[in-house]
Amino acid sequence: MDLAGSSAIVTGGAGGFGAATTRRLVEAGAKVVIADLAEDKGKELAAELGDSAVHLPTDVTSDASVDEAIAAATELGPLRTTVIVHGGGAAARRMVNRSGEAYPVEIFAKTVDIFLTGTYRVMSKAAAAMSKNEPLEDNQRGVVISTASIAGFEGQVGQSDYSAAKGGVIGLTLTAARDLAPAGIRVMCIAPGTFLTPAYRKNPEEVQAYWAPLVPNPKRMGHPDEYARLARHIAENDYLNGTVIRIDGALRFNI
């Protein structure tokens, strides 16, 4: 799929993965809605990219907010690419703590709402807009790329909410691809390992020192642009559909 002249939405578009992906999609000729609640970073990135990008504060837990982002994208051109890469945090607590207290269900539900339900909300609404596009070669109308995590396959201690949410995103991929096939819309998922992004909220050297020795090859954390280059390739390669690609240097989480 040729991205030139089309529009795209990147939820979490001002973050580590999101900003790198926004730049790569703009490089490919798309105009991008940076859908992110981080206003300062979003406006800064939009200013850097000029007429090729606009920032719009977007809450993936709100129907109205997502609808607004999609409407903004369709004003820039036919919406053909949606990359769902927003963050939101997780509690990182065991299901039952040492005092015998259960992990609050409402916190678990909030994490699932952001990462899984938010993904479904953006995916379904973006696909509805894409279904109205004029078809390209092979009846293609667009692609939705979600973001899981290797924690969705093998979660670590304290990741019950995050692993469940990301596992749901993984499980959604093939079903969504089959649901949307008649409309000519592809669905793919990227499952990153450990990447050097602001999500760690720690000194980069400290984070690298911990994670790099655990990655089989190459022995380092990933760079956000490696995610972004994969996202762009997925958008442009029409035969990638209905599967999850791990990008993790062969890292497997072990307890």
User: Could you list the active site residues?
Assistant: 162
Q: How many Å apart are CA 81 and CA 143, to the nearest integer?
A: 5
Residue 67: CB partners within 8 Å, gap ≥ 6? 125
Whether 151 and 162 have beta carbons less than 8 Å apart is answered as: yes
Gap between the Cα atoms of 74 and 69, Å rounded: 9
Give the gyration radius of the chain's Cα atoms. 18
How far does CA 136 lie from the centroid of its chain?
Answer: 24
Q: Which two tokens stand for residue 156?
A: 């670590």
CB 32 within 8 A of CB 52: yes
For the chain, percent helix, then strand, then coil, each to nearest 5? 50, 15, 35
Q: Which amino acid is at 168?
A: G
How many CB atoms sit inside 10 A of residue 38's CB?
A: 20
DSSP-assigned letter for residue 36: -
In sequence order, the β-bridge partners of residue 142 are: 185
Say if residues 227 and 21 touch (Cβ distance below 8 Å). yes
